[in-house]
Amino acid sequence: MSVSSKLCVPLLLLAACIRSQQPAPAIPPAPAPASPYFIAGADVSFLRDLESKGVVFKDQGQAHPGLEILRHHGYNWVRLRIMNEPTPLPNTLAYTLAEAKAAKAMGFRLLLDFHYSDDWADPAHQKTPAAWAHLPHEQLTKAVFDFSRSVITAFREQGTMPDMVQVGNEITSGMMWPDGKLPDRWPQFAELVTAGVRGVEAGKGDQPRPLIMIHIDQGGNEEVTKWFFDNLIVNHVPFDVIGQSYYPWWQGSLKDLKNNLAFMAERYKKPIIVVETAYDWHQGEEFKAGKPPFPETPEGQAEFLATLVVVVKATPNGLGKGVFWWEPMAEGAIEKRGMFDAQHEALPVIDVFDPPANPAPKAASKSDDPVHR
C-alpha cells in the first residue's frame, strides 16, 4: 500500500476495549438533526431477508434490529437494489418497498439501485431480464423507461421517494447485453441509460426528482474512468453524481483511489461517492499487490474504513461526499466482509461513524443535501 500511515486519523475515538468494558445501554432514538454531514451509507439489501429467517444482530451483546444498530452508529443513508424478476435473490419491488418503508421511518435517506436484470449486474454480468431478452432496441428502451417509471411511482405512492437513484449497477462494460454492451454499442447503451433517467423523472410526479448516480467499478483506475465518463458526456447522458466501487483487492491502492478522486473532481466537477466498499475482518482475499494494506482482522477492517473516509473527505473542492459499505449484514461466502462476526455481534468497524463524528441530516432539502454543498 502506497498511502502513508499519516492518512490514518483517529476517527475511532472509542477503542474496542471501551466497548468491552462498558455495559450495553438500550439503543436510544436517532440523534437530533444537525448539519453539515458526510454520507455514511450501507447497502442493506439482504437485511430484511436475513431477519425474516430469524437472524438476530447484536451490539455489545444486546439484540436490536439491524437498521436500528446502524442508525445508532451514525449511518444516515441506506442503499437498496431492485431487480426485475429475481430468483432466488429477494430483491423484488414488494420486498424493496418494505425495506424502504422501514428505513425511511427511521430517518434514513435512500439510494435506490436499479440492476435492470433478474440477477446480479456487474462488469462481468449484465444479463438482460428474461422478459425483455428478445426485444429489439427501441422496444427495450421503452421497457426500461416503463419499468423505471412504474418503480419510482410505487415508491412515491408509498411515501418513500428515493433521494438518489442509480441507473444501472457497475456499468463500466454496459448493461442489458448484448444490446447495450460496451465498448461497441455506446449509442445504444446511452439511449438505455437515458431511458432510465427519463423514467425516474416521469415517475416522480410532483415530488423533487431524485439525484441520478452513474456507477462504475473503477475506483483506482483513472484511465478507464476517463474513457467511460468522457464517452457518457459525449453521448449526452444526464447525471448528477459519480459513483465508484472501491475494493482494495480489486481496485488498487488507496493512493490510486485518491489520485482518481482528484482527477474526477477536477475534470467533471460533480459530487463523487464511493458507493461500494468493504474489507475483510478475517483472512480471505487475494490482493493484487500481494500483501493486504491493513491486517485482515476486526481492528484492521475498522482502520481501513477510517482511512478510506479520510481519503474521500480530502477530495478537492469538497466533492468527496460519502461512502457506502456493501452489505454490512452479510452471510455465507461474503460474511468475512460484513460488520458482524459469525455470532452476529457488531465488530469495531461499526464505530467509525459514531456521533458526534457524523451528525444526522436535517429533513431533506436541496440546500441541506451534501451533494449540493
Catalytic residues: 170, 276
130: left (phi over 0), alpha (psi -120 to 50) or beta: alpha
How does strand 77-82 pair with strand 109-114? parallel
**Segment holding 232, helix H or strand E:** helix 222-234
Alpha-carbon dihedral sign for residues 31, 321, 347, 97 = positive
CB burial of residue 31 (10 Å; 0-12, 13-18, 19+): middle
215 φ/ψ angles, rounded to the nearest 5 degrees = -120, 125
Q: Write out the three cell numbers for 360.
A: 444526522
Torsion angle, alpha carbons of 304, 225, 261, 175, to 10: -60
Q: C-alpha distances in angstroms, 320 versus 221, 229, 257, 260, 337?
A: 16, 17, 11, 11, 23
- Four-CA torsion 328, 330, 333, 339, nearest 10 degrees: 40
Q: How far apart are CA 188 and CA 137, in angstroms?
A: 7
Buried b (16+ CB within 10 A) or exposed e, 239-268: bbbbbbbbbbbebbbbbbbbebbbebbeeb
215 forms bridges with which residues in the sheet? 243
Q: For residue 41, what are the β-bridge partners?
A: 77, 324
The grid coordinates listed for 127 are 444479463
Instruction: Calculate helix-pair angle for 222-234, 186-203, nearest 10 degrees.
Output: 70
Residue 245's H or E segment, with its range, is strand 241-246
Cell of 174: 454496459
